[in-house]
Structure 1
């Protein structure tokens, strides 16, 4: 009897039903979007402050009233960034932890650390510039469907790499800009510091967009693999019996 028209038997997933992560995804994406909007506001406030500095034909002068108004707007934008950042970060990390649990049910052998590291990796100074990336790579590989017979398993990691590269670079550059702005004494140094902060805000916006894409793609991959099985619904012929 030939079994050439049957699907290849698929390995069973570990016991345990993945919890829905769509609600957490919506909250995490909303938090990232709100953080990005605060960065856009900060860019506008920074542009306005630099415009005050560079008024009067390009000479570095600043009328007191205009300077105070622009500086107040810039400080307000900075406060909004601080207020929004913490809940947005918490929402993303909670989603990150839920995804680690869900993808761990699919391919526990692909993970180098336990689920708790999906939270703990963010809390270790310096190591948090690398460890969450390792967890994300493991999750991405676990959520990627297995290849058909004869094909090599290869997870395309560019969404993970793009998000993490932008995130780390934006964090480091923001610290550099903050130091320059804090130590500024003259109007020229303040103007340059604001310009560097504006560049950091632009990087934050790009990193937030990359994080949203990564989160949506990973959640979609996990749900698809959970519904269709390890091979992602691919039809593979089994050898003749």
Structure 2
């Protein structure tokens, strides 16, 4: 004889059941994709500006008209990046806050700070370099199903670590590249600063992809745990003698 039974408790969701964050997830992912697209445009414009500076057989000389056109395109790409970044950041932070509320309903004991910090942590200088990461780790742990049979609790957090590491490093490196670009006076200095900016653009694109992966995974985990309960799907046990 065989039977399937799950003896672990599967409590119903509390009265304040998590609201759907799918719409916000789609908006946040679209914003991140647009940011990555603008970064790719800036990367292409940077390549063109560098080529214009090095146009004469590797020497740092360039026809004035071609150089001005390349520099104008590069500045335009930079303006697009600034215009797109703010609304994309707002969408992501709103999604982040919604996920903090939703995961807080699933496991309120796993959080060290209140839901309001899911917004405030991004706005305080220096604090915004580490506190959003701590909140993200808490959300990841709250959305992770508990292990069965009294096993030790484990939550693979590499998506959180990858996203935050790339994001923090890209922001800091971008500021460094911006300082070098603003201080550049010769064509050689401009070229070197543009190369650094191009590296920052590549980091931004990879960080945006990591952010999308983190957001999609966390949302899926939260929805799954809300539906299936704290231990995930029931596992059939064969009791055939």
Rounded Cα–Cα distance in structure 1 between residues aligned with 2:6 and 2:236: 6
Contact 1:122 1:132 in 2 (8 A): yes
| 2:207 paired residue number | 207
| 2:28 paired residue number | 28
| 1:75 paired residue number | 75
| 2:136 paired residue number | 136
| 1:9 paired residue number | 8
Aligned residues: 234
| 1:99 paired residue number | 99
CA shift, 1:16, in A, is 1.5
Taking the TM superposition and a 5 Å limit, the aligned residue runs for 1:94-173 are 94-173=94-173
Question: CA deviation digits over 1:166-207, x for unaligned, max 9?
Answer: 000000000100000000000000000000000000000010
Rounded Cα–Cα distance in structure 2 between residues aligned with 1:142 and 1:10: 17
| 1:53 paired residue number | 53
Q: Secondary structure at the match of 2:155?
A: coil
Question: CA deviation digits over 1:34-87, x for unaligned, max 9?
Answer: 000000000000000000011121111011100110000000000000000000
Rounded Cα–Cα distance in structure 2 between residues aligned with 1:165 and 1:234: 35
- Point out where structure 2 has 5 or more consecutive residues left out of the alignment: none
Rounded Cα–Cα distance in structure 1 between residues aligned with 2:215 and 2:9: 27
CA shift, 1:14, in A, is 3.9
Question: CA deviation digits over 1:115-135, x for unaligned, max 9?
Answer: 001000001101100000000
- Name the TM-score, length of structure 1 as normaliser: 0.94
CA shift, 1:88, in A, is 0.1
Q: Tell which deviates more after alignment, 11-20 or 128-137.
A: 11-20
Rounded Cα–Cα distance in structure 2 between residues aligned with 1:87 and 1:68: 30
Q: Tell which deviates more after alignment, 101-110 or 12-21.
A: 12-21
- Point out where structure 1 has 5 or more consecutive residues left out of the alignment: none
Question: CA deviation digits over 1:18-46, x for unaligned, max 9?
Answer: 10000000000000000000000000000
Q: Tell which deviates more after alignment, 10-19 or 109-118.
A: 10-19
Contact 2:100 2:115 in 1 (8 A): yes
Contact 2:52 2:66 in 1 (8 A): yes
CA shift, 1:151, in A, is 1.6
- Runs (4 or more) in structure 1 with deviation over 3 Å come to none
Rounded Cα–Cα distance in structure 2 between residues aligned with 1:47 and 1:6: 62
Contact 2:6 2:234 in 1 (8 A): no
